[in-house]
Structure 1
Amino acid sequence: MPSTLVHVAVGGLVGAALLGRWFDARSVGVALVAAAVPDLDSFTSTLLPGSHRALLHTLLLPLALVAVIAYDTQVRDPERSVIRGRWGTRGVVVAWVGVAALLCGGIFPDLFTNGVNAFYPLHDAFYSINGHAEWSSTRGFVQTFVELQPASSPPPTTETLHYSTVVDPSPGAEPENVERVAPLASSGTELMLIVLGAGVVGGRLFSERLRGRAE
C-alpha cells in the first residue's frame, strides 16, 4: 500500500513536470498538498466505516474539480472568474496542476496497486488496475490487467473491505495493545519514487533560486 510519502513524491513530480515557468515553492506546494488530500479519508474511517480509499479516492472528486475550474475559467465571464480575478493566469495553471497532482499522485498509486472505490458514492465497489503484461514464445502476448472473463465473485465494497491504517488498524473497536503501523516505503520502487520526487523538486527549487539571483 503506497504511503503518503509516495503520494506526495508523485505529486511533486507532476508539479515539476507541468508547472513550467510558474514553478516555485508555493505552486509546487499546492501540488504536494493536493496529492496528500485523498489520504485524509483514513481519518474518516473511524466515523464512517469503509470510507478509506473511498470518500476522497473516488474519481468523481477530480471530475468535480475539473467541472468547477473549467466553469470558472472558461465558461464564466473573465471579469467574474474567482481564480483569474485573484491569481491571474498563474492561478489557472496552478489549479489545473493541482487537480492533476490529486489524480496522478493521490489516487493513481492506490488504484494501480491494491485498489480504490473508484465511483463512490454512486457505485460502491473497489477496483484495482494491477497485474502483469509479458510476451511469451509459446503463449504470445499475455496480460492480466484487464480480465475478459466474468469475475467469480463481486468486487468488495465499503461493507466488506477494510484497509488498515495507523488511525484505524482494524475494523471495529481497537484493543488497548493494538499495533499501529505508519508505512513509509513498502518496497524498493516506493523508496525510489520518494528519493526521485524529493530530488527533482529540490533540484528545481535550487535551480530557480540560482536563476533568480542571476537575474
Structure 2
Amino acid sequence: MPSTLVHVAVGGLIGVALLGRWFDARTLAVVLVATTIPDLDSFTTTILPGSHRALFHTLLLPLLLVAFVVYDTRIRRYSVIKGRWGTRGVVVSWVAIAALLGGGIFPDLFTNGVNAFYPVHDAFYAVNGHAEWSSTRGFVQTFFEVRTASPAPTTSDFHYSTVVDPTPGADPEDVERIAPLASSGLELMLVIISTGVVTSRLAIERLSARTSYRVRSRADATPESSHDPEQ
C-alpha cells in the first residue's frame, strides 16, 4: 500500500501545480499537512477496529470540506476564511482539499482500496486492474466491474495492517511492525520526482524574492534627480 511518504509526494506535486503565485513554504506546509490527514485513521484502529482506510479515507470528508468552503466564501455574510487570510486563504483552502483527495485518498483508492462512503455505506472498494486494446477482444478493462464474485469487505471483517496495528485483535509481543516508505520502483520514482519538483520550486521562489528585494533596495538608494526651472 502507498506509504505516507508517497501521499506527501503526490500532495507536493498538487501544491506546486495549483498554488500559483501563492506558493511558498508556509502554504505548501498547509497543503502537505492536509495530505496526511486521511492516514490519521491508522491510529484509531485500536479503539475502533477496521477504521483504517475508512474513518478519514471516506470520500464524504472532502465533500463536507467543499460544502464548508462554499458556504463560508459564497453564501454566509461574513467569511471567516476571507476575513482572516483574504484571497490567499481561499486559494489555499481549495488546494488543501484537492491535496487531501488527490494525495491523501486517491493513492489508496487506486491501489488496494478504501471504505469510500463510510459511514453511510460500509464497504471497501478499490479501483485497480488494467486497460488494454486487443486485436481479437477489442477494448478490455478490469478497473470497473458491475458484478463481483464476492461482496465487498466491511470494517467488521477486514483489516489493513499498519505499523500501529499490524494484526487484527491483540498483537503478540514479537509482532513485526513495518512502516513502508516505498513499496515499488514506481513509488520511489514518484517520491524522487516530487522531491525534485518541490525543492526546485522553493528555490526559484526564494531566488525571485531575493532578486525583487535587491531591485527595491537599489531603487530606494538611488537619489532623486532635482530640476530647477530657473536654471
TM-score (norm 1): 0.97
| Secondary structure of residue in 2 paired with 1:134 | strand
User: Where does residue 50 of structure 1 map in the other structure?
Assistant: 50
Measured against aligned partners, the alpha-carbon deviations of 1:27-76 in whole angstroms (never above 9, x if no partner) come to 01111111111001000001100000000000000000000011000111
Letter in 1 for 2:71: Y
Aligned-CA RMSD value:
0.6
Measured against aligned partners, the alpha-carbon deviations of 1:69-90 in whole angstroms (never above 9, x if no partner) come to 110001112xx21000000000
The 1-side partners of 2:71 and 2:51 are apart by 29
The 1-side partners of 2:148 and 2:128 are apart by 15
User: Where does residue 37 of structure 1 map in the other structure?
Assistant: 37
User: Where does residue 105 of structure 1 map in the other structure?
Assistant: 103
Kindly, what percent of the aligned residue pairs are identical? 74
Letter in 2 for 1:86: R
Q: CA deviation at 1:137?
A: 1.1
The correspondence for 2:191, drawn from 178, 189, 194, is 194
Letter in 2 for 1:45: T
User: Where does residue 81 of structure 1 map in the other structure?
Assistant: 79
- Residues 1:27 and 2:27 aligned together: yes
Q: CA deviation at 1:202?
A: 0.7
Q: CA deviation at 1:16?
A: 0.4
- Residues 1:180 and 2:193 aligned together: no
Q: CA deviation at 1:140?
A: 1.0
Measured against aligned partners, the alpha-carbon deviations of 1:100-127 in whole angstroms (never above 9, x if no partner) come to 0000000000000000000000000000
Where does the alignment leave 5 or more consecutive residues of structure 1 unmatched?
none
| Secondary structure of residue in 2 paired with 1:120 | coil
The 2-side partners of 1:198 and 1:43 are apart by 27
The 5 A counterparts of 1:200-215 are: 200-215=197-212
Q: CA deviation at 1:7?
A: 0.3
The 2-side partners of 1:199 and 1:30 are apart by 19
Q: How many residues align?
A: 212
Q: CA deviation at 1:199?
A: 1.0
Q: CA deviation at 1:182?
A: 0.3
Q: CA deviation at 1:20?
A: 0.2
User: Where does residue 93 of structure 1 map in the other structure?
Assistant: 91
Letter in 1 for 2:178: V
The 1-side partners of 2:120 and 2:139 are apart by 35
Letter in 2 for 1:187: S
Greater radius of gyration (CA): 2
TM-score (norm 2): 0.91
Where does the alignment leave 5 or more consecutive residues of structure 2 unmatched?
213-231
User: Where does residue 60 of structure 2 map in the other structure?
Assistant: 60
The 2-side partners of 1:200 and 1:31 are apart by 15
